[in-house]
Structure 1
Amino acid sequence: MARPTPSRELAHTTIDTPVGPLLLVASGQGLVQISFECEGFDEVLDALAGTLDGHLVSGPSVLGAPQEAALGQAARQIDQYFHRARTAFEVAIDPLVLVGFRGDVQRHLTTIGYGQTASYAQVAEELGRPGAVRAVGTGCATNPVPIVLPCHRVVRSDGALGGYRGGLEIKQRLLDLEAQNLVAAG
C-alpha cells in the first residue's frame, strides 16, 4: 500500500540583499526556492503551491518551527555571504526539489569552489556525462536555490557568462563579490 504524500506547508519571506530583494520559501524539510524580484514573487509562490501541493503560509504567527528555522538559517547565511563572512552554505534543502539529472547537477554545484568557475562542459564531464552539456545548462537554469547552490559559478567554455535566472548583471555581481573577497583575503 502506497503512503499518501502529505501536502507541504510552505512558509516564505523576503530579504533585502545587494542584488535586490530575494524571496525565500521553505517547507518543513528545508529550503524549497530562492527567487529574484525579476521572476515575480507572486507568480513564483502560485507555481510552487501547485507544483508541491503546498499550502502557503507567512508571518511569524503561522510559521511552523521547521519552516521558521529553515528560513531564518537561510536568511542569516545569505546575509553573511553578501557581507563576505561566508563562502559555503549549510542549509537544508527539501529533497523533493532536487530530482533526476537536474538534481545531480544542482548538488554538484557546491563542488565548484568559492571564487572559482567551471564550464557547463566541465560539469557534464565531472558528472560522467560529457555529452550532457545542454542538460547541465538546464539543471543550472532550473536551480531552485540559486546562490546557496552556486549556479552563478558555471560559465560557457569560452568564458562568457552564459545565462542566469536573476539576469547576467546579478551573475556578474556575484562572481565579482567572490573574486574581490578572495583578493582581500589573500
Structure 2
Amino acid sequence: MSSHRAPSNIHIGLLGSSPIGPLWVAVSAIGLKAVDWNQPQQDFTRLVQGRSNSNVIYDESRTSEPLRQISEYLMGERRDFDLPLDLNRMTAFQQQVLQLTSIIPYGQTSTYQAIAIQLGKPGAARAVGRVEATNPIPLVIPCHRVLGSDGGLHGYGGPGGIKQKAWLLSLEGGQE
C-alpha cells in the first residue's frame, strides 16, 4: 500500500471589481488559504499550487463567502472576518505570528517588536517582519496593521507595497 496521498482540491474565486483591483481567494476544505489581488488567474493559480500541491478549481460557490466578506471590508462595511483559515504547511512560529496579527483590532496597529515580545522572543522582530511579508491571507490576517517600532510603514508584502498599506490603514481610520 502506498502512503502517497492524492492532491486535494483548492477552490479559487474572483472579486472582479474592488477598490484595490481584481481580488482572488483560494479556499481549501479547511478554510481560506490565500488572498491576492491585481494579478492574472494563471499567476494566482501557480501561486496556490506552489503552496499546496493541490488541484486548483475555479468555483464561485465555494468562494462566495470570503469574497463577500472581503468586499464588505473594502467598502468600509465590515470590521471583522468570520472565516475559517487554513494555515497548514506553515511552521509553528509562522502560525503564532499570524494568529497574533489576526487579533489586532480594526483601526489599531501593533509593531513587529511588540509581536515578538508577545511570543516571548524579543529578538525576533525581523523574523516577525518576514512572516508578515509572506502572509498568504492579507486583509483577513491584517498584516497592514503591523508597523516598525518607530511607527513607520516599513514595507508591505501585498500588491501595491507601502502605498497600499497606507490606504488600508486610512480605510480603517488609522494613520496614513
Q: Do they fold alike, i.e. is TM over 0.5?
A: yes
**Range class of TM-score, shorter chain:** 0.7 to 0.9
Cα RMSD after superposing both structures: 2.1
What TM-score does the superposition give when structure 1 sets the normalisation length?
A: 0.83
- Structure 1 or 2: more helix by fraction: 1
| Structure 1 stretches lacking a partner, 5+ long | 61-67, 181-186
What TM-score does the superposition give when structure 2 sets the normalisation length?
A: 0.87
For residues 2 and 139 of structure 1, the distance between their equivalents in structure 2, rounded to whole angstroms, comes to 34
% same residue: 33
Q: Which amino acid aligns with 1:9?
A: N
| Structure 2 stretches lacking a partner, 5+ long | none
Q: Which amino acid aligns with 2:42?
A: D
For residues 80 and 2 of structure 2, the distance between their equivalents in structure 1, rounded to whole angstroms, comes to 38
Equivalent residue number for residue 35 of structure 2:
34
The correspondence of residues 1-186 of structure 1 with structure 2, limited to 5 A, is: 4-15=4-15, 16-37=17-38, 41-60=41-60, 68-69=61-62, 71-165=63-157, 166=159, 167-179=161-173
For residues 43 and 33 of structure 1, the distance between their equivalents in structure 2, rounded to whole angstroms, comes to 13
Superposition deviation, residue 158 in structure 1:
1.1
Superposition deviation, residue 96 in structure 1:
1.3
Whether the 8 Å CA contact 1:156–1:162 is kept in 2: the answer is: yes
For residues 70 and 164 of structure 2, the distance between their equivalents in structure 1, rounded to whole angstroms, comes to 15
For residues 73 and 51 of structure 2, the distance between their equivalents in structure 1, rounded to whole angstroms, comes to 29
State how many pairs are aligned: 171
**Larger deviation, residues 85-94 vs 47-56:** 47-56
Whether the 8 Å CA contact 1:32–1:97 is kept in 2: the answer is: no
Superposition deviation, residue 102 in structure 1:
1.2
